[in-house]
Amino acid sequence: MQQLKTLTVKTSNKVKSVHMETLYAVIENCYNSLQVIESDCTASNYFCASANIFAQLQYLYRQNETNDYVSLESVMDVFANNVTYYDEEYSLYESVVENTAMQKIKLQDYACLSN
Compute CA distances 79 → 6, 33, 69, 86, whole Å: 44, 14, 18, 13
Is residue 12 in a domain?
no
> 26 by DSSP, 3-state: which?
helix
Answer whether residue 35 is part of any domain.
Answer: yes
Cα distances (angstroms) measured from residue 40 to each of 43, 44, 54, 79, 88: 5, 6, 21, 23, 15
| Residue partners of 89: CB distance under 8 A and separation at least 6 | 83, 107, 108, 113
Q: Is residue 2 part of a domain?
A: no
In a domain, 115, yes or no: no
Query: Domain for residue 89, yes or no?
Result: yes
Reported as type and span, the H/E element at residue 51 is helix 41-63
pTM: 0.83
List the beta bridge partners of residue 18. 70
Give the pLDDT score at 17.
Answer: 93
Q: Which domain holds residue 54?
A: 17-109
Number of domains into which the chain is organized = 1
- Tell me the average confidence (pLDDT) per consecutive run of 10 residues in the chain, 115 residues long: 70 89 95 74 81 96 94 95 88 92 92 86
Domain for residue 39, yes or no? Answer: yes
Q: Is position 40 within any domain?
A: yes
What's residue 33's pLDDT? 85
